[in-house]
Structure 1
Amino acid sequence: MTQLEVLYRYEMHPTEAAMAALGTARQVYGVRRIKIDEIAKTIRVEYDATRLNKPVVLQLLRCSGIDIVEELPLVAPPPPPAPAEAAPAQ
């Protein structure tokens, strides 16, 4: 079993019907956990990669009525390198 996570940003707050459909999506074999962050407007899905893949997970969310806008990285990108200081003139 290979556990993976994927993070998506959604646009509109899910309706009550969409939330009920997500409860059903949670019962799909291979979906381990679905976590919604209403403040950040993100939804994180933990799934078994031997059973599902990202396109299938995305389709499950969209069929549930979630307005997915984009996939987000799970790890923040590293900060840009600091600019090099100029050598003093002689």
Structure 2
Amino acid sequence: MTQLDVLYRYGVPPTEASVLAMAKVREVYGVRHMALDEAKKTVRIEYDASRLTEPVIFELLRRAGLDIVETMPMFTPPPPPEPVAAT
């Protein structure tokens, strides 16, 4: 099993109907965990990559009625190193 995470930012907050539909997404074989962060307007999905792909996860959420705006990076890259002053 290869476990991956994907993070999406959504625009319009989900309706009651779309939250209920998203609960059914959690029942899809291969979806391991789903976390909705209303303050940041993001949803994080943990899934088994040997069973599902990221485009399938995206489509499951879109069909549930979630207004996905973009895929977010899971981690921020480290800042570039400071240039070393010549002596």
Same fold (TM over 0.5): yes
Code of the residue aligned with 1:79 in structure 2: it is P
Counterpart in the other structure of 2:7: 7
TM-superposed deviation, 1:2: 1.1
Q: How many residues are paired up?
A: 87
TM-superposed deviation, 1:77: 1.2
Counterpart in the other structure of 1:56: 56
TM-superposed deviation, 1:81: 3.0
Measure, in 2, the Cα distance between the counterparts of 1:31 and 1:51. 9
TM-superposed deviation, 1:78: 1.1
Aligned pairs (5 A) from 1:1-90: 1-85=1-85
| Segment of structure 1 superposing worse, 33-42 or 77-86 | 77-86
Determine helix, strand or coil for the equivalent of 1:61. Answer: helix
RMSD: 1.3
* Aligned-pair identity (%): 56
List alignment gaps of at least 5 residues for structure 2: none
List alignment gaps of at least 5 residues for structure 1: none
Determine helix, strand or coil for the equivalent of 2:28. Answer: coil
Code of the residue aligned with 1:54 in structure 2: it is E
Q: Runs of 4+ in structure 1 displaced over 2 angstroms? A: 80-87
Higher gyration radius (CA)? 1
- TM-score normalized with structure 1 length: 0.89
Determine helix, strand or coil for the equivalent of 1:20. Answer: helix
- TM-score normalized with structure 2 length: 0.92
